[in-house]
Amino acid sequence: MSERLTVFKWAYGTKKQSAYATPVADVDLTKTHALLGPGDVEEKPEILTDAEEAGRGTEWAGSQAIERWEATLKREGYGTPELLGFLCAFWFGSVVTTQPDAGQAPLVYEHEFRVLRPPTTELPVTSIVELGASSLRRKIESAVVSALEISAENPGRLKVAADLVGSGKVTLPGSFSFPSMPTESQVYFRTNVMTFTINNVALTSRLQSFKVRLDNALLLRHGYEPGSGLYRSKIEYGARRPLTFEYTLFADATGGDLATLRAETLQTPNAIVFDGTDSVNGVLKHKVTITIPKLKLVGVRQDDVDGRRVHRITTEIHDDQAAASPINIKVRNANASYLTT
């Protein structure tokens, strides 16, 4: 009997692996979340053959050997503080956790995710377990988020999509107790209280969409070392990590968007804030904040939405040496910690 998508389950945790080759224990994979589709998982061997060797008397391969394994997967869902927290932890690799009101709300936490900077170049990794049919389970080890995209479009919900890369090692656990599906705190484009500021100017009423894309530019081949075997032994981010931010505004009748582009003005500070409507453990509301200290406009394309002129704006994220991170994302939820062992 063929496998049905409706039986798909998955589990993750907030802890990182204690070492690259040491998976998170099953008992610590206590979280799950609804997804927009089950996500693609690909297990792919890199195969060496003798097909291109000369002097063999034939043009076709006569032998082969597996050189290494790759394992990749995708996760896409609505950008709740829970799913955002997990994916940001394993893209950014660094987090600062505080309590906004420890006295009145001792079970509410805010997590600010920041990019890692040299000399720390190895990213934290985690483990993910999936269930297809009742007897088909697999555990993807040493997974890290290679690319992350956060977006929203009027009047929909915040969305998040991530590409993950593992060490190549996938095991088949004989049994696993999957967590129950939680009540999710959705983040809506219009029904939540939202503020959008560019260059410290509120543009919320003009905003139609935005998209942030973060790419770790992983050094995949650097993870294979002499003696490391079929699986990667470490993962590092690349020397150039692309960070892009695009947004669409109803056109300013004064031409201010185009004037800013021509003036080559550095935009600072910039932020998107979603104040949620659902409470976290009964007191404070959930919250998502995206902060980009410095932006530079690099292009404005004119378009229309429902007969109204819009500007589709592309920007370049600049580093701010005085800030902890060129971009940081803060989520408020009930998780006490991320990236612990």
What digits encode the pLDDT tens for the residues 5-61? Answer: 667 889 999 999 999 999 999 999 999 999 998 777 899 999 999 888 888 888 898
Q: Quick check: 107 pLDDT over 70?
A: yes
The per-residue pLDDT for 299 is: 87
Query: What would the mean pLDDT of 108-123 be, rounded to a whole number?
Result: 96
Residue 189 has pLDDT above 90, yes or no: no
Residue 1's pLDDT band (boundaries 50, 70, 90)?
low
Q: What is the predicted pLDDT for the residue at 56? A: 85
pLDDT band for position 135 (50/70/90)? Answer: low
Strand boundaries in the chain, DSSP class E:
9-11, 41-49, 64-78, 93-98, 109-115, 126-131, 137-153, 159-165, 170-171, 193-198, 201-202, 207-215, 243-250, 266-267, 270-279, 285-292, 294-305, 308-318, 328-333
pTM passes above 0.85: yes
pLDDT of residue 175: 82
**pLDDT score, position 134:** 59
**What is the Cα–Cα distance from 134 to 174, expressed in whole angstroms?**
11
- Is residue 211 packed enough to be buried (19+ CB in 10 Å), middle (13-18) or exposed (0-12)? middle
Give the pLDDT band of residue 102 (cuts 50, 70, 90): very high
Instruction: Look at residue 133 in the predicted model and tell me its pLDDT.
Output: 60
pLDDT value of position 269: 87
